[in-house]
Structure 1
Amino acid sequence: MTRRSCLQHAACGFGSVALADLLHAEQQRTRSPQPHFAARASRVIFLFMQGGPSQLDLFDPKPFIQQKHGQPIDSPLSSHVLQVGTERFLALGTAVPVRPRGHCGTPISDLLPHLAGIADEICLLKGMSADNPQHMPAELQLHTGALNDARPSMGAWISYGLGSENHNLPAFITINPHADVR
């Protein structure tokens, strides 16, 4: 038997294996167990923008700081701790206005006009706390609920609870370079 004829005969077998796998996957989808409770949410979009703009400039106006913009403030540091060129501290307000939006009155910056247009349709969480003051471990804790690397992420739990709309695509994605948080 030549190599060419061997591959021709084997190709039918490979097609059968692929078809069997596709049919099995379809059968498994129809048998997937339903959650204990009906889901109240159909989708979750969680955007975590590490290094993004400050929440003070986007969602958290500080009227007192705006009034004191450019004026010197008392330094929390002693004079010998200050670095060169920082003999005084000046209050720095936001450069772009943050205004109440929608019927709910959620403060949103003019930098985000499209988000401001749907202010009544979104949930904006403005509270944060962490057990760790270090940014990287605190971010890991935000995404997984623990400081341990081997825990499922928020995306894994959401896809477990809601399932996937398309079994050919992942239920969630995370785009983040690996970082050692220890």
Structure 2
Amino acid sequence: MEALIKAAQGDRERYGGTLYELLYNLYNLTAATERWRRKDYKAAGEHVAQVVESDSIGTCASLDSFPLVEEWESGKIDFETYASRLADLLQGKGIATAGQYKRVMLAARTFGKEWDGSAPKAQQALAARAAIEGAAWCTVATRTIREAATGRPLTVPLKDYAGIIQGIVGRL
């Protein structure tokens, strides 16, 4: 992480977006785990939704497919349609795991956006935990997906990124 911060100071154009995305995901996953530990499961889910939405936007941007994001953000399509189109785009780039990525992303986001506060607390705890772990998987998986789809190497090595994310999720 320290190396990325130094690199971003020297070349903000190349590393600034990556650093922002990393910090955004670290903040939201950490906040989600803290909310989970405090039994505020709905808030944990809200942070999870922010992670998967942000990562999907970053994936679209890396594929030069920002018009898809604009369709969703403007309300022309819902998130499920957006996720399906993103998966189709990824499959067209040869990403065999695109369908799996879409399903996990939708499940994690749905817990955050359509929270069932009337469910028993034990069920809410499991739902929030599953959502956090799903978002963690998505944020790591999207790195390899982007690299494979674009042919551009990752600015943060996957081993380092995954290690940071696993450290956060390990606190559950």
The TM-score by the shorter chain falls in which range?
under 0.3
Larger radius of gyration: 1
TM-score, normalised via structure 1 length: 0.24
TM-score, normalised via structure 2 length: 0.25
Structure with more of its chain in strand, by fraction? 1
| Structure ranking higher on relative contact order (CA contacts 8 Å, 6+ apart) | 2
Structure with more of its chain in helix, by fraction? 2
